[in-house]
Amino acid sequence: MAQSTETTDWVSRYADEVIAESERRAPGKPVVVASGLSPSGPIHLGNLREVMTPHLVADEVRRRGHEVRHVLSWDDYDRYRKVPLGIEGVDDSWAEHIGKPLTSVPAPKGSAYPNWAEHFKAAMVDALAQLGVEYDGISQTAQYTAGTYREQILHAMKHRGDIDAILAQYRTKPKAAAKKSQKPVDEAELEAAEGSGAAGEDDGSGGGAGYFPYKPYCTACGKDFTTVTAYDDDTTELTYTCTCGHGETVLLSEFNGGKLVWKVDWPMRWAYEGVIFEPSGVDHSSPGSSFQVGGQIVGIFDGTQPIGPMYAFVGISGMAKMSSSKGGVPTPADALEIMEPQLLRWLYARRRPNQSFKIAFDQEIQRLYDEWDRLDAKVADGTVLPADAAAYARAVGTAAGELPKTPRPLPYRTLASVADITAGHDEQTLRILSELDPEKPVTSLDEVRPRLDRAEQWITSQVPADQRTIVREEPDTELLGSLDDQAKESLRLLLDGLDEHWSLDGLTHLVYGVPKVQAGFSADATAKELPPEIKTAQRSFFALLYRLLVSRETGPRLPTLLLAVGAGRVRKLLGA
């Protein structure tokens, strides 16, 4: 990456800040950035921002030659709060596991993974690998059950009065307790998050024995419907009761079956890992949010709050119902089925974290790809603006190198049209693609993959059946018979020029040229030389072709459609 682009975008500016702050706080140590994800169900595509924001900053820091560690905390020791709807292989019987850690809940039936958390983590791990995101994944189950945070837990228990005093300032605002990695927040999630947050009712303060920032999972039933009833600072003896009837006294200096409540857990880990940068969702900017409260609690652990920009919501436009098979939740894996990793990275890189945007699953994806290809061309010819060049560089690769790319990136909309018409038939697809540019024909589908596969997947999974293109088998004799002389003449001009113009450019010239020639102009005449009525004539000529070829008024771009249908069938359907 060129030196001159370093201060041109939001990523560079955060990298400046993060490097300076890291050198101040921990000179000579690797820079630490962090993300947290809860594998409580399919991980929403919008939550990818939780990982992409620190990833992009970490990558820029790495490009500048610094050592970086991107900690991705899998919050898999969180309690199972509810059974998500519509998950294949999961029924109401999963409700009996509510209250257990996510790693103690069985995976959906038929899963290759040992438990619920691992099952939902796997899809995200795969997506992050495709996206080129380098991270250090940390299972909170592994950390807690190994006793890794023992000192921190004992310390928090010792200072429970201080923690309680901080939390008490916010207890009148229970709505602010939403956990930061549960975005987008729906009502049920918010309710559940309050249950795990320290400002909720279930923060350990209800036992009559005072406030405790720690919650054991019951050793009899495995769930967290427990109440700490006594704690001895000297012996670390902790007594709890559970709604299942079990009760016992354990030594917290040895016991590894519980966790700090969320609002204490998060700042404890900032201090433990030395996190310099960790963003969170914009819905957590309110007073009493985990981030704000954490900023006060982190001092108890001798730590400092990270630089933590609030990021805006990432929406999804037009995702088809049929493809949201995983509980109606669009995941990063769903997006990567219809777009290349570069495009998805670009969407995150080009917008500042506080700008919201949408990821297109509808027709908009074609326009987005056109925009991406134009950017690619500007980069190639050197006319690109510095900020756009920075976003481009972050999209196509990382400090580790470029991501695998499509060798010959034909326009996505062309590939989508071809896939639409051929229904994924490889031989027919290759025939059409080889005719697009006879000077430089596509000779193997590998040249246009994986972009072709993404476009095919988009057509198959996202475009509704009534918008798909079905080429007529037989000519519409009724329509052909009803045509006036002018319409017949336009078809004859087109048919006469087919052989000579059989390429994408040639056919584009031909279909736009026919109405010009009919009106007495040259086929090469430009818009300035032509009367505005030509546009009307072109529109009605195009509509006629669509009706004769696909029995509709519109369809894929005509040159692509003609190539896809093939010269022989075009002749037959146009009544030659």
Residue 206 C-beta: closest distance to Zn ion, Å: 17
At position 369, the amino acid (one-letter code) is: Y
Angstrom distances, CA of residue 250 to CA of 64, 196, 234, 247: 49, 22, 13, 10
Q: What are phi and psi of 226, to 5 degrees?
A: -110, 155
Residue 240 C-beta: closest distance to Zn ion, Å: 9
Residue 189 C-beta: closest distance to Zn ion, Å: 25
* Opening angle at CA 128, ends 124 and 131, nearest 5: 140
Q: What is the 3-state secondary structure (H, E, C) of 408-450?
A: CCCCHHHHHHHHHHHCCCHHHHHHHHHHHCCCCCCCCHHHHCC
The residue whose two tokens read 């930061």 is 180
CB closer to Zn ion out of 243 and 486: 243
Q: What gap in Å lies between CA 405 and CA 446, rounded to an integer?
A: 11
SS3 of residue 305 by DSSP:
coil
Rg (CA), the chain: 30
Q: What gap in Å lies between CA 327 and CA 84, rounded to an integer?
A: 7
Residue 367 C-beta: closest distance to Zn ion, Å: 55
**In this structure, what token pair is assigned to residue 66?**
């610094």
Q: What gap in Å lies between CA 549 and CA 104, rounded to an integer?
A: 58
Of 162, 167, 121, nearest to 140 by C-alpha is: 121
CB closer to Zn ion out of 218 and 565: 218
Residue 223 C-beta: closest distance to Zn ion, Å: 6
H-type alpha helices, 463-557: 477-481, 485-497, 504-518, 533-550
Residues forming contacts to Zn ion in the complex (CB under 5 A) are 218, 220-221, 242, 244, 246
Q: How many CB atoms lie within 10 A of CB 514?
A: 24
Residue 217 C-beta: closest distance to Zn ion, Å: 8
β-strand 357-360 against 397-398: which pairing, if any?
unpaired
CB closer to Zn ion out of 77 and 311: 77
Q: What are phi and psi of 377, to 5 degrees?
A: -65, -40
**In this structure, what token pair is assigned to residue 23?**
């050198």
Per DSSP, 463 falls in state: S
CB closer to Zn ion out of 57 and 228: 228
Residues in the chain: 576
CB closer to Zn ion out of 77 and 135: 77
Direct distance between the N- and C-terminal alpha carbons of the chain, in angstroms, rounded to an integer:
57
Residue 303 C-beta: closest distance to Zn ion, Å: 33
The residue whose two tokens read 């890794």 is 148
CB closer to Zn ion out of 244 and 470: 244
Q: What gap in Å lies between CA 410 and CA 412, rounded to an integer?
A: 6
Residue 26 C-beta: closest distance to Zn ion, Å: 42
Q: What gap in Å lies between CA 61 and CA 29, rounded to an integer?
A: 13
CB closer to Zn ion out of 242 and 410: 242
Q: What angle do the packed helices 290-297 and 160-168 form, to 10 degrees?
A: 140
Q: What are phi and psi of 310, to 5 degrees?
A: -85, 130
Residue 219 C-beta: closest distance to Zn ion, Å: 8
Residue 466 C-beta: closest distance to Zn ion, Å: 54
SS3 of residue 538 by DSSP:
helix
Q: How many helices (DSSP H) and strands (DSSP E) are in the chain?
A: 22, 14
CB closer to Zn ion out of 202 and 283: 202
CB closer to Zn ion out of 221 and 480: 221
Residue 228 C-beta: closest distance to Zn ion, Å: 13
CB closer to Zn ion out of 144 and 240: 240
CB closer to Zn ion out of 220 and 400: 220
CB closer to Zn ion out of 96 and 136: 96
Residue 79 C-beta: closest distance to Zn ion, Å: 13
CB closer to Zn ion out of 246 and 571: 246
**In this structure, what token pair is assigned to residue 569?**
């069938």
Residue 332 C-beta: closest distance to Zn ion, Å: 36
CB 351 within 8 A of CB 48: no
